[in-house]
Amino acid sequence: MKFRLKAELRFNNRIVTKPLISTIAIRENSPINILWADINDKGGKVLVEIPDSRAEAILRAFEEEGVKVVRRLLIEVNEKCVNCGHCVTLCPTKALTLDESHTLKVDGENCVQCGRCVDACPMRAITLPP
């Protein structure tokens, strides 16, 4: 099964203590890959990958439980990029590469939106969508 769709799940303080990810994965009979999480007793965010074939049903199930679902775009690279490669050296998943013409390429399947590239960019040419 190939994971493709990435979505950010935003939990409020009323539902953050419920085991919703595992409950929905079991109920929908589909794996949910957690890429990163930032959760505390006040709420939190979790970036997940979901198989394309089950994406709509799974996202609908989260919304029905009160989870705000945000479909995530990849990092955005603007015209300030000088293709220096600083971001490439810090990317833990090898989602960023420089091609043979030294142009930055982003592999959406490998990007986990960790933000290391944003911090590494001396030109501030890389951003994560809100």
The domain that holds 106 is classified in CATH as 3.30.70.20
How many domains is the chain partitioned into structurally? 2
Q: How far apart are CA 37 and CA 9, in angstroms?
A: 9
State the Cα–Cα distance between residues 41 and 14, nearest whole angstrom. 9
| Contact status, residue 13 vs residue 41, Cβ threshold 8 Å | yes
65 and 13 housed in the same domain: yes
Shared-domain flag, residues 35 and 11: yes
Relative orientation angle of helices 55-64 and 20-27, to the nearest 10 degrees: 130
Does residue 67 share a domain with residue 16? yes
- 20 & 36 share domain: yes
Q: Which tokens sit at 42?
A: 């006040």
| Domain with 41 in it | 3-71
Q: Is the domain of 8 the same as that of 64?
A: yes
Same domain, 57 and 115: no
pLDDT tens digits along 48-88: 988 888 889 999 999 999 999 988 667 888 999 999 999 99
Least confident of 32-36, 38-42, 48-52: 48-52
